Amino acid sequence: MNLDMVARTIQLVLAPVVMVTTAALILNGVLGRYSAVNDRLRVMALERLELLRTAPGDPLARQRLELIDAQLPELLHRHRIIQQAAFAVYLAMLGFVVTMFVLGLAVATAAAAVATAALLLFLAGTAALLAALVLQAFEVYRSHHAVSFEVEQVAKLRL
3-state secondary structure of 159: coil
Residue 92 contacts residue 135 (beta carbons within 8 Å): no
Q: What one-character DSSP code corresponds to residue 55?
A: -
Residue range(s) defining the domain that contains residue 106: 3-156
Residue 86 contacts residue 27 (beta carbons within 8 Å): yes
Residues 115-142 as b/e (b if ≥16 CB within 10 A, e otherwise) read: bebbeebbebbbebbebbbebbeebeee
What confidence tens digit (pLDDT) does each residue in 79-131 have? 999 999 999 999 999 999 999 999 989 988 989 999 999 999 999 999 999 99
Neighbours of 50 (CB within 10 A): 11
Q: pTM for the complete prediction?
A: 0.85
What confidence tens digit (pLDDT) does each residue in 58-70 have? 888 998 999 999 9
72 confidence band (pLDDT: 50, 70, 90): very high
DSSP labels, 96-157: HHHHHHHHHHHHHHT-HHHHHHHHHHHHHHHHHHHHHHHHHHHHHHHHHHHHHHHHHHHHH-
Q: What is the count of structural domains for the chain?
A: 1
159 confidence band (pLDDT: 50, 70, 90): low
154 confidence band (pLDDT: 50, 70, 90): confident
What confidence tens digit (pLDDT) does each residue in 43-58 have? 999 999 999 999 878 8
Taking residues 15-40, report their average pLDDT: 95
